[in-house]
Amino acid sequence: MKQTILVTGASSGFGLLIANKLKQRGYTVIGTSRNPEKYQDKLPFKLLELDISDDESILSFHKRLFEHIHQLDVLINNAGFYLSGLAEETLIEQGKLQLETNFWGTVKLTNELLPYFRKQRFGKIITVGSIMGLISLPGGAYYAASKHALEGYFKALRFELKEFNVNVSMIEPMGFKTNIVTNALVAENEISDYNVYRKKLNHYTTDLFKNAPEPTPVIETLMKLVDEKNPKFNHPVGKGASVIHALQHFAYKTFENSIIKNINKFKN
């Protein structure tokens, strides 16, 4: 019997790609979106309304979910967004929304489903993090903070759910071609002292994502996590992901100088 899998944020990006791939493989797939009516006619899987930044939406979703399925085998936490901007130029209200969505929204939805997983004594919780949850880069302080927070929370949860035969793991993609940047929320409080640096950083970021690879390795890794009996916790994905992670820990100056050099090669 094929597993039933819930994929949050399944109307675009990694969520849409993995939900489609899982459906093609014969899994029962339920996706979520804040506006499912905009996408449902184009999708081969059921899409339910969910806004993970809204507590009431999470509560009502939990009730509706089990009207459509009888068993949940895998939760793939994917919903979230990218807040782009220098740390000082980012309004605190924007930063709070980033954490409320990416971290707290993911945690609240997971917590709603934990009693179900504990009761059935099996399942998987897979969370789509980011390489920015293992390192940090300029222009994404709050995004990195939200992803670092997810790493800490789910690492602890992995220990706590072992006795219930529920596996917890994360995937940390590098930059891949998705709509994450085009759909990003942008910092609103520009400070003149940063004008030159901001322009260089914008050129660097644009160039980085313009040349980003297709997200096939991310989808392949997610499929392996669904199929694997007891996957490990961390799964960095992308060219050089593991090396970059190691550099930041064991050769930070080299890592830092490399980032600074790549940014400064762009004229303002």
- Sorted by where each starts, the structural domains of the chain and their CATH numbers stand as 4-192+214-240 (3.40.50.720)
- Cβ–Cβ under 8 Å, residues 153 and 168: no
Question: Rounded mean pLDDT of the chain?
Answer: 94
Give catalytic residue positions: 143
pLDDT tens string 3-40: 999 999 999 999 999 999 999 999 999 999 999 999 99
Beta carbons within 8 Å of 13's beta carbon, 6+ residues apart? 78, 178, 179, 180
End-to-end CA, the chain: 58
In tens, the pLDDT along 148-168 reads: 999 999 999 999 999 999 999
Name residues whose C-beta falls within 8 Å of residue 227's C-beta, 6 or more positions apart in sequence. Answer: none
Q: How far apart, in Å, are the Cα atoms of 147 and each of 25, 85, 130, 132, 143?
A: 29, 16, 6, 6, 6
Q: What is the mean pLDDT of each run of 10 residues along the chain (268 residues)?
A: 93 95 97 96 96 96 93 97 96 97 98 97 98 95 98 98 98 90 89 96 88 93 96 94 85 91 86
